[in-house]
Structure 1
Amino acid sequence: MSLPSLSPVEHSGLARQKLRIAVLNRTFSSTGGGAERYSIALVEQLSAAHEVHVFAQEIDHHWPGVSYHRISAPLRKPRWVNQLWFATATWWATRRGFDVVHSHENTWHGNVQTVHVLPVKYNLLHGISGWRLLLRWIKVVTSPRLLTYLGLERLRYVARPGRQVVVTSGSLQAIMAASYPACKEMVSVVTPGITMPAQAVTPALKREARALLGLPAQARCLLFAGNDYRKKGLQALLEAMVHLPSDVVLAVVGNPAHIPAFRVQAEACKLGARVFFLGSLKDVGPAYTAVDGLVHPTLEDTFAMVVLEAMAYGLPVVVSGPRYCGISGLLQDGVNAMILEDPRDANKLAQLIQQVLGQPALQGRLMQGATEFARHYQWREIALQQEALYFAALAASKAAGSAQ
Structure 2
Amino acid sequence: MRIAVISRVFSRSGGGAESYSVALVQQLSSRHEIHVFAQESNQPVAGVTYHRVFCLSRKPRWINQVLFAIATWMQTRSGFDVVHSHENTWHGQIQTIHVRPLRHNLFFARSGMRRFVQWVKVALSPRLVTYMLLEGARFKASPARKVVATSESLRRECEQAYPDSQGDVSVITPGTHCPQHLPTRLQARQQLRLPRAGRLVLFVANDYARKGLDALLQAMKHLPADIRLVVVGNPKSAPKYRQKVDQMGLGGRIHFLGSLDDLSLAYCAADCLAHPTLEDSYAMVVLEAMAHGLPVVVSGPEHCGISQQLTQGSEALLLPDPRDAQRLAQLIGSVLGDTDLAANLRSHGLKFAERHSWERAALQYEQLYLQAASRH
- Identify which range, 186-195 or 247-256, moves more after superposition: 186-195
State the TM-score, normalized to the length of structure 1: 0.91
Which secondary structure does the structure 2 equivalent of 1:328 belong to?
helix
Which secondary structure does the structure 2 equivalent of 1:354 belong to?
helix
The RMSD of aligned alpha carbons is 1.0
Pair 1:341-2:320 in alignment: yes
Aligned twin of 1:33: 15
Q: How many residues are aligned here? A: 376
Aligned twin of 1:256: 235
Query: How many Å separate the matches in 2 of 1:387 and 1:265?
Result: 47
- Identify which range, 222-231 or 116-125, moves more after superposition: 116-125
Following superposition of structure 1 onto structure 2, how do residues 145-160 of structure 1 map, counting pairs within 5 Å? 145-160=127-142
Pair 1:20-2:7 in alignment: no
Which secondary structure does the structure 1 equivalent of 2:35 belong to?
strand
Aligned twin of 2:124: 142
Aligned twin of 2:57: 75
Amino acid at match of 1:159: A
- Return the offset for 1:62: 4.2
**CA deviation digits over 1:258-316, x for unaligned, max 9?**
10111122112111110000000111110001000000000111000000000001111
Following superposition of structure 1 onto structure 2, how do residues 340-359 of structure 1 map, counting pairs within 5 Å? 340-359=319-338
Which secondary structure does the structure 2 equivalent of 1:273 belong to?
coil
Percent of paired sites with the same residue:
54
**CA deviation digits over 1:183-242, x for unaligned, max 9?**
2232111111111112256xxx21111011121111100000000000000000000000
Query: How many Å separate the matches in 2 of 1:269 and 1:356?
Result: 24
Aligned twin of 1:93: 75
Aligned twin of 2:27: 45
User: Mind listing any 5+ residue stretches in structure 2 that lack a counterpart?
Assistant: none
Aligned twin of 2:298: 319
**Matching residue within 270, 276, 281 for 1:302:** 281
**Matching residue within 276, 284, 301 for 2:263:** 284
State the TM-score, normalized to the length of structure 2: 0.98
Query: How many Å separate the matches in 2 of 1:62 and 1:259?
Result: 25
**Matching residue within 171, 181, 196 for 1:199:** 181
User: Mind listing any 5+ residue stretches in structure 1 that lack a counterpart?
Assistant: 1-18, 399-404
CA contact (8 A) 2:22 2:44 kept: no
CA contact (8 A) 2:182 2:268 kept: no
Following superposition of structure 1 onto structure 2, how do residues 369-384 of structure 1 map, counting pairs within 5 Å? 369-384=348-363
Amino acid at match of 2:39: Q
- Identify which range, 126-135 or 343-352, moves more after superposition: 126-135
- Return the offset for 1:64: 3.1
Amino acid at match of 1:294: L
Query: How many Å separate the matches in 2 of 1:275 and 1:119?
Result: 34
Pair 1:238-2:217 in alignment: yes
Query: How many Å separate the matches in 2 of 1:61 and 1:324?
Result: 32
Query: How many Å separate the matches in 1 of 2:64 and 2:282?
Result: 26
**Matching residue within 97, 101, 105 for 1:123:** 105
Query: How many Å separate the matches in 1 of 2:89 and 2:164?
Result: 18
Amino acid at match of 1:105: E
Query: How many Å separate the matches in 2 of 1:385 and 1:54?
Result: 20
Which secondary structure does the structure 2 equivalent of 1:287 belong to?
helix
Which secondary structure does the structure 2 equivalent of 1:276 belong to?
strand
